Amino acid sequence: MSEQGSGKPHYHGHRERLRERLLTRGGDSLSDYEILEFLLFSAKPRGDTKPLAKALLAQFGTLSRVLTAEAEALARVPGMGRASIAALKIVPQAAERLAREEAMSGDVISSWDKLLAYCRLTMAHQPVEQFRLLFLDKRNRLIADEVQQQGTIDHTPVYTREVVKRALELGAAALILVHNHPSGEAEPSAADIAMTEQLVSASEKLGIVIHDHLVIGRAGHASFRALGLL
C-alpha cells in the first residue's frame, strides 16, 4: 500500500529513509540540503522540510554559511521560525565545544592542527573583529580561553596593560594571541604587527612567552611565527 493510501503523509517515509541512510552509510551519504532537513526535523515534526532546506541553501549559498548566519538573517527566509532557527544555531555551538575539547585537552602546542581548527570554527565567520587570548601554564596546558576585546568590522582595540595584568592574575607562563579579519583576508596588517611587538616586549619583561599570534580569515589563517614576525 502506498504512503498516501495508508493515510501517512508523503514525507513520513522520506524521513525514515534519511535516518536509515545516515545510520547505515554514514553522514557522507547525505547532501547538504539533506543535512539541513535533518536539523529541521525536530523543529518541524510535521511537514516536508526539503523545500525550506533548499531555500536556505539558495539564500546563503553553502551549508556553512547557513549554519553561521545571524538569527535575524535566517528569520527573513519564509518558513523559518524561532524553533527552526534554534535547531540550526545549536550546531555551531556543539561543534565549537567538541573542537575546543579536542584542542585543549593536553599540550596545546602538540595539538596545533586541532587548535587551528578550533580557532577557525569559532572566529572565521564572526562579523566583527575579536581578540582572543589563550593562557597556558608551563606545560602548555590551557588555563583559560578568553575573548579580551571585541571591536568593529576592521579594528579591535588591544590594551597591553590589560593583557599582561590578566596573564599575571591567572599565573600564565605563555600566551597564544588570536584575532580574526572579517574581511576574509588573513594577512597581518601593520597595526597587527605593531601591537604584537608591544605585547611581546611587555610580556618578556615578566617572563611570559608569546608562542604565536594567529590571524584567522574565512579562507585560511596566518601565523606570525611561521611568517618570521615572532
Quick one: average pLDDT of 57-71? 92
φ, ψ for residue 8 (rounded to 5)?
-85, 145
Cell of 163: 593583557
Q: Is residue 149 within 8 Å of 156, Cβ to Cβ?
A: yes
pLDDT per position as a tens digit, 40-50: 998 988 888 99
φ, ψ for residue 215 (rounded to 5)?
-110, 125
Quick one: average pLDDT of 24-29? 88
Q: Is residue 145 within 8 Å of 132, Cβ to Cβ?
A: yes
Q: Could you tell me which residues come within 8 angstroms of residue 94 by beta carbon, excluding any fewer than 6 positions away?
A: none
pLDDT band at 12 (very low <50, low <70, confident <90, very high): low
Residue 218 C-beta-side C-alpha neighbours within 13 Å: 10
Residue for grid cell 596546558: 141
Cell of 110: 602538540
CATH assignment, 106-223: 3.40.140.10
Does residue 11 register a pLDDT over 70? no
Please state the domain extents for the chain. Answer: 10-95, 106-223
Residue 79 CB neighbour total at 10 angstroms:
14
Alpha helices for the chain (secondary structure H):
10-25, 32-41, 50-60, 63-67, 71-75, 82-104, 112-123, 160-170, 190-204
Does residue 226 register a pLDDT over 50? yes
Does residue 202 register a pLDDT over 80? yes
State the angle between helix axes of 82-104 and 112-123 in degrees (0 to 180), rounded to the nearest 10: 160
- Cα Rg, the chain, nearest whole Å: 22
Rounded to two decimals, the pTM is 0.72
What is the rounded average pLDDT for all residues in the chain? 87
Q: Which CATH architecture has domain 10-95?
A: Orthogonal Bundle (1.10)
Distances in Å between the alpha carbon of 110 and those of 87, 98, 143, 200, 207? 34, 18, 16, 22, 22
pLDDT per position as a tens digit, 75-103: 999 999 999 999 999 998 898 888 888 87
Instruction: Give the model's pLDDT for residue 148.
Output: 85
pLDDT per position as a tens digit, 115-172: 998 898 888 888 888 999 999 999 999 899 999 877 655 556 788 889 999 999 999 9
